[in-house]
A and B are shown apart, each in its own frame.
Chain A
């Protein structure tokens, strides 16, 4: 609200995503009361958990006004590597497979860092640098698997999906913990504030002594770690990985972040917006199935949603050239 206590456009933008989410839940419940059950809600959160991690990762990058389109390739790559490492170190968590967990987070960080370095050092716009890197990662994954599937057969690890606490599988809690970590980074660390500084006005941030390039590389590295978490959760969900494990994550995660209210221009929004956005997208996906619409309507719906979200969040007076 502004100084006079009026409800401003900024307030509307800030609260719109949450209101949309609530409205959707009410709408789907009205059409089919089955929608509002603990079991269905658990289903939605399980479907949403890996996408949430990708969305949180890319949120940091969008906050800086950049974009990352590499997530599909990076997710497939880290998922497949994770399966190989897990099997190599014993095949079960207890036998040494746990080593694969920190290892793959490290791999994610390295891949993200390479992504960021290509973008910053070669001075290529991030959407193209990351798109190309995504293709490279997908190609590398095909090279690793030879087109095959890598399976993990460990009841303890799959417990992430099968063991339930208060009705929700463990992986939902893991995703929740990582959202809290991301929120901590965003609000309580210098790096988090630097993301907003770069996104709010890069030249200003640079002029006031911030090493913008280093912040950008750090952002991409951090995103890479979150993609690796997403890969681990996706493997836990499916029990296997292949070169198409990451398919569709790009569209869904970017749609989620933007629909959640993170402005593409940078500087506005944060981790909670990503969470609300992912829930909106997954509630729509789930709701369409519950009320009996075919699943291919989703891509079209998401496409329209993302356009509406960008249009609503754009301050038309501040924009000059749109490419």
Chain B
């Protein structure tokens, strides 16, 4: 068994080893109630990572995901009173639209995605500050419970967030495996010039990938806003790094083409376990950045497909 054949299995092996290791050190960790609440807490991050998977799958990146989620927490808080449940549609439309814009700038204006998404993120941040008046906003508690209360309750021991996560995972898995869009994205990720040469409208599919990424970042932001019952232009800061880590440790490389949303599900669980173990070892939340930064470097180095990079810039 050489490393190349082992590679696709590394993510879930890592996950099992980590769970076992933490379980041995901390015997309360493996209790079902603990695992469930752990999984429930990570759901907004998971949704954002699901979206990022699409951007990374085609060999791009979406650095605007965090700003998008920030913006949506503000949009949701401001318009919940006047739109009711329709605010969810508005939020997703905002995310989809901004994602489409990033995609347009990347594919039609030929601006590399890390710059275009950074720039669009800047626009989203401005908009969030304008809409919020640079303050933290609160949702009306009664109205939140009436409209979005179902998102955050519990059925038995299972947090409702998990149902949302599984639903979105199923939806994105369907898109990835069972639709023309999914196969087109795979073709683009595996080799863009070849995909273009075989007649695929590469630009349109790439734009859609960024739009999906934006829409899912928006859903992550909406769920986050409901959980915290409010929004602010910087409230979701700190999401971007673990979300990228989740995609990459899951086994979708920066070069795209392989991996997918199931990998991201495993990657997110790895992130959750790492986080939980850091809490156990009393490493503060702010210092987790350092650990995740190092994990990120390791994950990229392990997964990236060098054959696709003629020169590493």
Q: Taking the complex as formed, is A202 at the interface, i.e. its CB lies under 8 A from any CB of chain B?
A: yes
A6 at the interface (CB under 8 A from B): no
Is A136 interfacial (CB 8 A cutoff)?
yes
The answer, yes or no, to whether A150 is at the interface (CB within 8 Å) is no
Q: Does A7 touch B at the CB level, under 8 Å? A: no
Interface residues of A (CB under 8 A from B): 64-67, 69, 118-120, 122-129, 131-136, 138-140, 142-143, 147, 202-203, 243, 251, 254, 258, 264, 266, 294, 296-304, 306-307, 310-311, 314, 316, 319-323
Complex contacts, A134 vs chain B, CB 8 Å: 293
CA distance A124 to B297 in the complex (A): 8
Asked whether, in the complex, the Cβ of A322 is within 8 Å of the Cβ of B313, the reply is no
Which 4 A-B pairs have CB atoms at the shortest separation, nearest pair first? A139-B290, A300-B126, A303-B122, A135-B293
CA of A314 to CA of B107 in the docked complex: distance in angstroms?
13
Main secondary structure of the interface of B (DSSP, over half): helix
**Cα of A134 to Cα of B286 in the assembled complex, Å:** 14
Give the contacting residue for B112; candidates A298, A299, A316, A322; CB below 8 A: A322
A300 to B193, CA, bound (A): 33
Per the bound structure, the CA–CA distance linking A21 and B261 in Å amounts to 46
Q: Which residue of A lies closest to B295 (CB)?
A: A132
Contact of A143 among B105, B107, B121, B290 (CB under 8 A): B290
Q: Is the CB of B287 within 8 A of A139?
A: yes
- Of the listed stretches B28-36, B76-84, B127-135, B216-224, chain A binds B127-135
Residues B105 and A307 in contact, CB atoms below 8 Å apart: yes
Please tell me which one of the listed residues A126, A258, A299 contacts residue B126 in the complex, with CB atoms under 8 A apart: A299
A202→B289 CA distance, assembly (Å): 33
Q: Could you tell me if A129 and B300 are in contact, using CB atoms closer than 8 angstroms? A: yes
User: Which of B120, B254, B287, B310 has a CB less than 8 Å from the CB of A128?
Assistant: B254
Residue interface mask B268-291, A partner, CB < 8 A = 1? 000000000000000010111111
Write out the residue numbers on chain A whose beta carbons fall within 8 Å of the beta carbon of B129.
296, 299
A127 and B113 CA atoms in complex are apart in Å by 11
Q: Does B114 contact A (CB under 8 A)?
A: yes
Q: How far is the CA of A316 from the CA of B110 in the complex (A)?
A: 8
Compute how far the CA of A76 lies from the CA of B41 in the bound complex, rounded to whole angstroms: 30
> Could you tell me if B123 and A303 are in contact, using CB atoms closer than 8 angstroms?
yes
Contacts of B130 in A (CB 8 A): 294, 296-297
Q: How far is the CB of A280 from chain B (nearest CB, A)?
A: 15
